[in-house]
């Protein structure tokens, strides 16, 4: 670690001002579970660390008037995992409770995961999969960014040097009837090799009206597979959707190197599982 100055503001505005003052070498830190690893191996060398953990407005989960779920960016996985959330919002708690390990979940935050933009982390993929929106505060004002526009590459986000991610907003429960999340990783505490989120809404007649598929781990940023998702409304089987999604996310994935072919296979399998589970969820509701 290289020396840095520690700053602990108690408002978002204060944090933004500090980031602006010390840009571009200031970094925001929430739980620090990813950033500290980079600091320790000296791959990140900020001159100032702006702590977000003392800012009350950045933590906690609440339901907004329109029914959307507003999750403070500095909310830890452990808090999310313990939250009792209605309907498919509860999948957020399940995902948060089944990643990394117990001590890391006590420190790591949902916003930290999004800002780290590791292609294999669950939270960015899940946020894209359910069509979440992100709230950003910066020196030039507040703005909203769709989750799928936030990560711009492995480790690269749309966040400006003087901006802070303040909240992740899941759409109201009515947006989806069910959400299924599937992933495969080597060990329990490893990041996913591939993760799949399948969000599904039925029409009044009980057929599939809208499906959203997102795949994490296989590409530099998690991506959606709209073509494959659309097949479901046309009556395709889960297996067919899986095969299409694999080709859509990793074109040429059957002829690439072993690592590519493996991801291609995993997308097929996990999409099939996620779609199967989502369909059986809506049919039993």
d(CA 134, CA 131): 10
Of residues 145, 233, 260, 282, which one binds other proteins by CB under 8 A?
Answer: 260
Which among 163, 102, 174, 112 has a CA at the least distance from the CA of 138?
163
Nearest C-alpha neighbor of 285 from the set 69, 130, 87, 93: 87
**Two tokens, residue 159:** 């966040």
- Site size for other proteins (CB under 8 A): 56
252 binds other proteins (CB under 8 A): yes
69 strand-pairing partners: 63, 170
The nearest distance, CB 48 to other proteins, in angstroms, is: 10
The answer to whether the beta carbons of residues 194 and 266 sit under 8 Å apart is yes
- Residue 156 as a binder of other proteins (CB under 8 A): the answer is no
Nearer to other proteins by C-beta: 32 or 72? 32
Nearer CB in complex with other proteins: 114/169: 114
- Contact between 262 and other proteins by CB under 8 A: the answer reads yes
In angstroms, the CA 201 to CA 6 distance is 46
Could you give the angle at which helices 258-284 and 238-249 cross, rounded to 10 degrees? Answer: 140
Confirm or reject binding of residue 1 to other proteins (CB under 8 A): yes
Closer to other proteins by CB, 89 or 183: give it: 183
Q: Which is nearer to other proteins, 68 or 224 (CB)?
A: 224
Is-contact 132 169, C-beta < 8 A?
yes
Q: Is 237 in the site for other proteins (CB under 8 A)?
A: no
The answer to the question of residue 269 lying near other proteins (CB under 8 A) is: yes
Q: Which is nearer to other proteins, 184 or 209 (CB)?
A: 184
Stretch 67-126 residues interacting with other proteins (CB under 8 A):
78, 100-104, 106-107, 119
Between residues 47 and 207, which has the closer beta carbon with respect to other proteins? 47
**Nearest approach, Cβ of 35 to other proteins (angstroms)?**
10
Residue 214 as a binder of other proteins (CB under 8 A): the answer is no
Which one, 15 or 266, has the nearer CB to other proteins? 266
Whether the bond between 17 and the residue before it is cis, its omega within 30 degrees of 0, is no
Crossing angle for the helix pair 122-129 and 90-97, to the nearest 10 degrees:
160
Distance of CA 254 to CAs 178, 248, 258, 267, 270, Å? 31, 12, 9, 12, 16
Decide: is 243 part of the binding site for other proteins (CB under 8 A).
no
- 188 binds other proteins, rule: CB under 8 A: yes
Give the dihedral of Cα atoms 268, 272, 275, 278; nearest 10 deg. Answer: -130
CA-based max dimension of the chain: 62
How far, CA to CA in Å, does 84 sit from each of 89, 97, 153, 172?
A: 9, 12, 33, 16
The one among 36, 173, 175, 233 contacting other proteins by CB under 8 A = 36
> Where on the chain is the footprint of other proteins (CB under 8 A)?
1-6, 8, 29, 32-33, 36-37, 39-42, 49, 51, 53, 78, 100-104, 106-107, 119, 154, 184, 186-190, 193, 218-220, 250-252, 256-263, 265-266, 269-270, 272-273
């Amino acid at each position: 670690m290289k020396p840095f100055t520690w700053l602990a503001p108690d408002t978002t505005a204060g944090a933004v001002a500090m980031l602006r003052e010390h840009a571009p070498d200031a970094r925001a830190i929430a739980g620090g579970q990813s950033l500290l690893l980079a600091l320790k191996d000296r791959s990140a060398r900020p001159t100032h660390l702006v702590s977000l953990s003392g800012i009350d407005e950045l933590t906690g989960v609440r339901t907004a008037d329109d029914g959307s779920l507003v999750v403070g960016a500095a909310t830890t996985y452990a808090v999310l995992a313990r939250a009792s959330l209605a309907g498919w919002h509860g999948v957020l708690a399940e995902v948060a409770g089944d990643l990394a390990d117990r001590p890391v979940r006590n420190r790591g935050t949902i916003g930290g995961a999004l800002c780290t933009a590791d292609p294999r982390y669950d939270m960015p993929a899940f946020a894209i999969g359910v069509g979440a929106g992100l709230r950003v505060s910066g020196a030039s004002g507040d703005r909203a960014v769709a989750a799928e526009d936030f990560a711009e590459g492995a480790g690269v986000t749309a966040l400006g040097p003087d901006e802070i991610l303040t909240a992740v907003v899941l759409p109201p429960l009515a947006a989806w009837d069910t959400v299924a999340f599937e992933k495969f990783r080597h060990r329990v505490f490893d990041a996913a090799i591939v993760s799949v989120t399948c969000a599904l809404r039925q029409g009044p007649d009980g057929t599939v009206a809208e499906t959203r598929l997102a795949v994490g781990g296989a590409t530099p940023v998690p991506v959606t597979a709209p073509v494959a998702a659309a097949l479901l409304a046309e009556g395709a089987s889960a297996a067919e959707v899986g095969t299409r999604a694999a080709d859509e996310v990793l074109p040429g994935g059957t002829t690439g190197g072993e690592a590519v072919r493996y991801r291609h296979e995993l997308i097929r399998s996990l999409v099939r599982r996620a779609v199967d589970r989502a369909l059986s969820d809506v049919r039993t509701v």
